[in-house]
Amino acid sequence: MRYYLGIETSCDETAAAIVDDNYNIISNIIFSQQKIHSPYFGVVPELASRMHYEKIHFVVKKAFKNFDIKKIHLITYTEKPGLKGALLIGKIVAKTLGYIFSIPTLGVDHLWGHIYSVILSYKGKIKFPFISLIISGGHTELSLVKSFTKRKILGNTRDDAVGEAFDKVAKLLSLSYPGGPVIEKLAKLGNPKSINFPRPYMLDSWDFSFSGLKTAVLYYVNSLKSSKIQPSTLDRQLISDICASFQEAVVETLTTKIIHATKKLNCNRVCISGGVSANEYLREKFLNLAKKNNLEVYFPQKNLSTDNAAMIAALGKYFYN
Ligand code: KG4
Ligand code: ZN
């Protein structure tokens, strides 16, 4: 049996995990920096690097609590994309451990990591090809995954990623960071049909654009301000209605685009990953649609939706040769 150590420090999670060849997770330690960044409603790169530097030792040590590092076959670390200073901390730790214990190291792609969060959740039992939709804080990517190591990128974020739109809408509603979970929670109390926000389908392209939708929410809130209602004093029901209507617009845009992709690409298998894939409303809508359209839809385990190192460790099996 081979064991892989993964190290993830691309954004605001300091994480280390050990995964075996059969996609069993031996340990999966995550230190989230959310509390540190929340006053700024977004990740502050310099603070992120400093926190990684402070916490990585403790996180890696914890991952090896009941495991001998000498059994590790390969150390993978997130090489790109991400915050430069933050990535550097993970790389230095991986290289140092590799040097001391004579273990090879491999820099890997974080977005492949998100795709592997699904493969890992299903213990490698997903057939190819499949359409991958990554919806995270920094990326919205549509690709066709042909094998464990080959994917054809079809479309990308033109401006705000989906998660970024959730975070910015939360900010303009004076909620908290990260925006996704709080908007999802409030949306449960609101009416998704109450405000008709635009749906940026862009069906003539595989790209995505969510900044217009975010701006539509801003204009809506500003129109309330000019009618003398301050966002911080907005009625709870109104905030919940805005959250539910915004979430509905996002989900409808994504589901429409995916259905379109499955038809155009003649592929009925879809994997959805990245932080926003933790959203229960989105999962439910996709699963209902899957039933109606005869699709296979796969999501990662909830705890593997947001950034983690298990998905990074899992890349070792096929990407290292
Ligand atoms: O994948 P991730 O952890 O980090 C990046 O690679 O960017 O994604 C973080 C993003 C944040 O923007 C956060 O607001 C969003 O995922 N998110 C959610 C939910 N949980 C996290 N968005 C919607 N609903 C959620 N439940
Ligand atoms: Zn991510």
> Which one is predicted more confidently, 114 or 231?
114
Q: Is the CB of 250 under 6 A from ligand 1?
A: no
For residue 137, pLDDT over 90 is answered with yes
Residue 231, pLDDT score:
59
For residues 133 and 270, what is the distance between their CA atoms, to the nearest angstrom? 8
Give the CB-side neighbour count of residue 105, counting CA atoms within 13 A: 18
Q: Is the CB of 113 under 6 A from ligand 1?
A: no
DSSP for 168-195 reads HHHHHTT--SSHHHHHHHHHTTS-TTSS
Tell which atom from ligand 1 comes closest to the C-alpha of 273.
Answer: 1
Tell which atom from ligand 1 comes closest to the C-alpha of 167.
Answer: 14
For residues 216 and 255, what is the distance between their CA atoms, to the nearest angstrom? 20
The encoded tokens of residue 33 equal 């920096």
Q: Under DSSP, is residue 4 helix (H, G, I), strand (E, B) or coil?
A: strand
The encoded tokens of residue 19 equal 């995964």
Report the amino acid identity of residue 240.
S
For residues 253 and 262, what is the distance between their CA atoms, to the nearest angstrom? 15
Report the amino acid identity of residue 39.
P
Within 10 A of 131 (CB to CB), how many other CB atoms are there? 22
Q: Is the peptide bond before 39 cis (omega within 30 degrees of 0)?
A: no
Q: Which residues, by Cβ under 5 Å, contact ligand 2, an ion?
A: 136, 307
Within 10 A of 92 (CB to CB), how many other CB atoms are there? 16
For residues 69 and 18, what is the distance between their CA atoms, to the nearest angstrom? 10
**Phi and psi, residue 52, nearest 5°:** -60, -45
Ligand 2 centre to CA of 125 (Å) is 22
- Mean pLDDT rounded to a whole number for the chain: 96
For residues 36 and 47, what is the distance between their CA atoms, to the nearest angstrom? 8
Q: Under DSSP, is residue 112 helix (H, G, I), strand (E, B) or coil?
A: helix
Residue 228, pLDDT score:
65
19-35 pLDDT, tens digit each? 999 999 999 999 999 99
pLDDT bin (cut points 50, 70, 90) of residue 38 is very high
For residue 229, pLDDT over 80 is answered with no
pLDDT bin (cut points 50, 70, 90) of residue 321 is confident
Q: From atom 23 of ligand 1, which residue's Cα is the shortest distance away?
A: 180
Q: Give the closest ligand to the alpha carbon of residue 110.
A: 2
Q: Is the CB of 166 under 6 A from ligand 1?
A: yes
Q: Is the CB of 200 under 6 A from ligand 1?
A: no
For residues 283 and 271, what is the distance between their CA atoms, to the nearest angstrom? 11
For residues 146 and 144, what is the distance between their CA atoms, to the nearest angstrom? 6
Ligand 2 centre to CA of 137 (Å) is 7
Average pLDDT score over residue span 145-160? 97
Residue 250, pLDDT score:
98
94-123 pLDDT, tens digit each? 999 999 999 999 999 999 999 999 999 999
- To test the pocket of ligand 1, the residue of 136, 141, 172 to mutate (highest count of ligand atoms within 8 Å of its CB) is 136
- Alpha helices, H only, 65-133: 84-101, 110-121
For residues 169 and 218, what is the distance between their CA atoms, to the nearest angstrom? 8
Q: Residue 140: CB partners within 8 Å, gap ≥ 6?
A: 133, 134, 156, 157, 161, 162, 208, 210
For residue 84, pLDDT over 80 is answered with yes
For residues 253 and 278, what is the distance between their CA atoms, to the nearest angstrom? 17
Tell which atom from ligand 1 comes closest to the C-alpha of 280.
Answer: 26
Average pLDDT score over residue span 273-283? 98
Average pLDDT score over residue span 133-146? 97
Contact status, residue 91 vs residue 79, Cβ threshold 8 Å: yes
Within 10 A of 13 (CB to CB), how many other CB atoms are there? 23
